Amino acid sequence: MSSEGTNFIRARIDADRAVGRHGGAVRTRFPPEPNGYLHIGHAKSICLNFGLARDYAGTCNLRFDDTNPTTEDPEFVDGILADVRWLGFEPDAVLYASDYFEQLYLWAEQLVRDGKAYVDDQDLEEIRATRGTVTEAGTPSPCRGRSPAENLDLLRRMRAGEFVDGAKVLRAKIDMAHPNMKMRDPLMYRIRHAHHYRTGDAWCIYPMYDWAHGQSDALERITHSICTLEFANNRELYDWFTEALGFEEPPKQLEFARLNLTYLVMSKRFFKRIVEEGRVDGWDDPRMPTIAGLRRRGVTPEAIRAFAEHVGVAKANSTVDLGLLEWFVRDDLNRKAPRRMAVLDPLEVELTGLPAPLALDAPEFPRDVRDLPGAPPEGVDWQAVRTVSMGSRLLIERSDFAAEPPPGFRRLVPGGLVRLRHGPVVRCDAVERDAAGEVTRLRCAVVDDPEARPRGVIHWVDAASAVRVKVKLYDRLFAVPSPGERTGELLDDLNPHSLVVADGWAEPSVAAAGPGSRLQLERHGYVYRAPQDEGADLVLTLVVGLKDVWAAKEEGVVLSDEPEEDEVDPAQVAAEQARIKADARTAHFLEHPDAESAFTALTTAGASDDAAWTIATDATLRSLAETASAHAPPGAVGTWIANVLVNELKMREASAEGVDGVALGRLVALVEDGTLSAALGKKVLAVILDEGGDPRAIAEARGWVQVSDAAALEAVVDAVLAAHPDEVARYRAGEAKLAGFLMGQVMKASKGKANPGVARGLLDAKLG
RNA sequence: UGACCCGUGGUCGAAUUGGCAAGACGUCUGGUUCUGGCCCAGAAGGUUCCAGGUUCGAGUCCUGGCGGGUCAACCA
């Protein structure tokens, strides 16, 4: 199992395996449509699906969902396959929905024969108009009543190409008044005389997503079909199709929240637009959140995988801070990228006191990198040292000198000392300026005093040996955390400085770093040299900058004030809520007098309003309560039905129909007279629901009798207290919440049989 | 105002299925340091959306409300 904890999908898989579904196998798939490039959001899905297959020793297919010939392109299938492999996953099979067209068609004929699908002659507008709205039912097509034989003939002629595009469609025959719009006779096939990149001209009808997807999953014997939240409404249809075709152990669809990141949008359409408008340099522009873009930026697959695992999988819409992705990129590169020095905005330094050029040994990594968690990367010699020469003419970063330093400035100042990284400490003796007052050159002297206390350490390059580098300083694509929010136009929020090219100088060994290598330019960030050089120049791209506490402080990031919360009086809220509830109830009772009498009867018998309402508005529960009330106090029966029974039924997805009212009443009586505690009563109820029977007999057969005897419970309480001395001490030290924990232990020790009231009294007394 | 899904520190997200509200990022201290990086130690930050109910005990169950998302392509 992954070290990154659990999530609802894993919980579901564990539960399915526990009951032996699919023989405990896990088969997933990643199903992109080849109509664009994959982005970081897809990476999350890829890591999820392939990660599940890996952790459960299952399989994961890559399946191209290529059911729409007009948008798809083989260019994208190649790109997608390359991206998946680059991320580090090898599909167990590379498959295409288009390979299933024949089977899909055969199944469609089957549904037609079964009267579960029909051919509709209505055009696009008519279908749209008769679908209804979210609050109004749709109206059936005039073609809905066609006979299976006629439909079959029409479908075959559709396939044979007798009709023009849009003339006819095949629809599932479900329910035009269904509250879920996806179930209002959804389309299965449309006519499209178009060339498909794989099936060529073999077909002129193409399956819709809903029809193709679940059946493709079933063909591949997928166990868990994982998709994003927006398909949740489609699940009912997914299940309808697999049910209609009668698959055994059909695949089950599970939906999770797609990844959103601040400073980014994850929209294929927007990507397409900025690529076409030339605002970025293609789908793989290093500013793009596409996998290809991240790769060209120099981000490693390891960083993406670690990020994807970390953000987790849930059903709540959420937006992850882009800073988190950047953190994972740094964390990975910190251990992999050899250190180098480069000056991007040079200021000349004339160094005196150097008798001859120095040859300095500079380690590839600082010592402490070795102590990082995780093994050192392969192929990196941690002891490696490169030689850096230092002559009398140096270049330092312009921002590393300040004639008038701000407080806390730990770099070069007139008359001040700094260490030149891997080299000597120097003192700034003179500052040369041009006519405009701009600093043009510094004169510094080597300070040969081992006691010297420099203000800080700065990097440098030797002017005589430095090589020219062009560093593409990439920044976030958007300037604001939520693009498009201000004006509704994404382009308005594009970061104008997302690409700044710096012409700098680097120590010579930077040129020796091979194509495809990653380095840390010390005090700047991590850079990447493209596998293919762009020209004669040495070009590096900034993958991500180093964390920079100083720059953040300089910018003076001001945290916004806490928004003032309006003071609300809970009592007032409660009163208001009660009024709303009461109003709704009176309105309901106006039309349902029987509900009102039941409600009144239950509340006067002592049930709470909520419990009474739950029962009074449900005919089945109402008659159940009536039957049960012959054997136990009606108020208690009401409370039990509303709070315990309803929950149990919900968990087993069962209805109240057929529940034994007499047994229920007797059960409540047993709880009321103290024979059973509430917890034991719940267990007995579960048995009644599962296999039926008399509550007393069930309880006796299993020894489920509440223990109220103080002496017997005292022994249990003593044992628990003795077994948890730390918790007892913490409780006595003031951690009141530990009482709940200890009480839980007592209940557990008594196998749930302790009378909670008595046990609690004992416990409280002993804890003092 | 139909159906479905979702509300847990600033941001993500766990919680053994009713029993001590994890962890990470971010923030703030301090230490270390020849990278203002990394690392180490510590801290702050929560009425688990709200109100009722059930229970010895509720983030978890029930009822209602509020807020957000998705669905009315011959896209996926």
Q: Which nucleotide is nearest to A206 (CA to C1')?
A: B74
Looking at residue A557, its pLDDT comes to 45
Looking at residue A563, its pLDDT comes to 41
pLDDT one-digit tens code per residue, A393-417 = 999 999 999 999 998 999 999 999 9
Distance between the alpha carbon (CA) of A675 and the C1' atom of B32, Å: 66
How far apart CA A186 and CA A628 sit, in angstroms, is 45
Q: Which helix (H) or strand (E) holds A578?
A: helix A570-591
Distance between the alpha carbon (CA) of A609 and the C1' atom of B61, Å: 17
Both tokens of residue A77? Answer: 């299938």
Looking at residue A413, its pLDDT comes to 96
How far apart CA A221 and CA A715 sit, in angstroms, is 55
How far apart CA A34 and CA A79 sit, in angstroms, is 9
Q: What is the mean pLDDT of residues A273-292?
A: 95
Q: Give the three-state DSSP class for A506.
A: strand
User: What's the gap between Cα A281 and its chain centre?
Assistant: 29
Q: Give the three-state DSSP class for A208.
A: coil
Amino acid in position A379? G
* ipTM for this model: 0.96
Q: Given a cut of 60, is residue A3 above it in pLDDT?
A: no
Q: Which nucleotide is nearest to A324 (CA to C1')?
A: B25
Q: Is A591 noted as a catalytic residue in this protein?
A: no
Looking at residue A556, its pLDDT comes to 54
Would you give the DSSP letter of residue A657? T
How far apart CA A145 and CA A119 sit, in angstroms, is 10
How far apart CA A49 and CA A234 sit, in angstroms, is 20
What number of other Cβ atoms are within 10 A of residue A398's Cβ? 15
pLDDT one-digit tens code per residue, A343-358 = 999 999 999 998 899 9
* Residue scoring higher pLDDT (A573 or A661): A661
Q: How confident is the model at residue A2 (pLDDT cuts 50, 70, 90)?
A: very low
Considering chain A, what is the average pLDDT of its residues? 92
Looking at residue A233, its pLDDT comes to 96
CB A603 within 8 Å of CB A640: no
Q: What is the mean pLDDT of residues A103-114?
A: 98
The length of chain A is: 768
Nucleotide B6: closest residue by CA–C1': A316
Catalytic annotation, pick one of A12, A182, A192, A268: A268
Q: What is the mean pLDDT of residues A242-262?
A: 96
Looking at residue A555, its pLDDT comes to 67
Q: Which nucleotide is nearest to A679 (CA to C1')?
A: B55
Q: What is the mean pLDDT of residues A85-108?
A: 98
Q: Beta strands A439-447 and A425-433: pairing type?
A: antiparallel
Q: How confident is the model at residue A510 (pLDDT cuts 50, 70, 90)?
A: very high
Q: Which nucleotide is nearest to A69 (CA to C1')?
A: B75
Looking at residue A395, its pLDDT comes to 98
Q: Given a cut of 60, is residue A373 above it in pLDDT?
A: no
Q: What is the mean pLDDT of residues A668-684?
A: 90
Looking at residue A100, its pLDDT comes to 98
pLDDT one-digit tens code per residue, A207-238 = 999 999 999 999 999 999 999 999 999 999 99
Q: Which nucleotide is nearest to A124 (CA to C1')?
A: B74
Distance between the alpha carbon (CA) of A7 and the C1' atom of B23, Å: 14
Distance between the alpha carbon (CA) of A676 and the C1' atom of B55, Å: 14
List bases, strand B, within 7 Å of protein CB: 1-8, 10-15, 17-27, 33-40, 50-57, 61-65, 68-76
Q: Which nucleotide is nearest to A132 (CA to C1')?
A: B72
Q: What is the mean pLDDT of residues A111-129?
A: 97
Nucleotide B15: closest residue by CA–C1': A6
pLDDT one-digit tens code per residue, A598-643 = 888 888 988 888 899 889 888 888 889 999 999 999 999 999 999 8
User: What's the gap between Cα A261 and its chain centre?
Assistant: 11
The DSSP annotation for A214-264 comes to: HHHHHHTT-SEEEEEGGGGGGHHHHHHHHHHTT-SS--EEEEEPPP-BTT-
How far apart CA A336 and CA A303 sit, in angstroms, is 11
Q: What is the mean pLDDT of residues A83-96?
A: 98
Looking at residue A370, its pLDDT comes to 66
Q: Given a cut of 70, is residue A328 above it in pLDDT?
A: yes
* Residue scoring higher pLDDT (A442 or A375): A442
How far apart CA A617 and CA A635 sit, in angstroms, is 16
Distance between the alpha carbon (CA) of A563 and the C1' atom of B44, Å: 19
Distance between the alpha carbon (CA) of A737 and the C1' atom of B38, Å: 39
Distance between the alpha carbon (CA) of A727 and the C1' atom of B46, Å: 23
Amino acid in position A409? F
Distance between the alpha carbon (CA) of A369 and the C1' atom of B38, Å: 6
How far from A130 is each of A1, A144, A184, A240, A756, CA to CA, in Å? 49, 12, 10, 22, 60
In sequence order, the 6+-apart residues with CB closer than 8 A to the CB of A483 are: A263, A264, A265, A490, A493, A494
Distance between the alpha carbon (CA) of A317 and the C1' atom of B56, Å: 37
Q: Is A268 noted as a catalytic residue in this protein?
A: yes
pLDDT one-digit tens code per residue, A732-761 = 888 888 888 999 999 988 888 899 989 998
Looking at residue A565, its pLDDT comes to 44
The DSSP annotation for A292-332 comes to: HHHHHHT--HHHHHHHHHHH---SS---B-HHHHHHHHHHH
Q: Which nucleotide is nearest to A727 (CA to C1')?
A: B20
Catalytic annotation, pick one of A27, A29, A33, A173: A33
Task: Quote the percentage of chain A above a pLDDT of 90.
Answer: 71
Nucleotide B54: closest residue by CA–C1': A643
Instruction: Output the CA angle A190-A191-A197, nearest 5 degrees.
Output: 100
Looking at residue A379, its pLDDT comes to 63
Q: Which nucleotide is nearest to A211 (CA to C1')?
A: B76
Q: Where are the alpha helices (DSSP H) in A430-559?
A: 509-512, 549-555
Looking at residue A186, its pLDDT comes to 98
Structure pTM? 0.92
Q: Is A29 noted as a catalytic residue in this protein?
A: no
Catalytic annotation, pick one of A54, A258, A410, A470: A258
Q: How confident is the model at residue A382 (pLDDT cuts 50, 70, 90)?
A: low
Distance between the alpha carbon (CA) of A441 and the C1' atom of B68, Å: 58
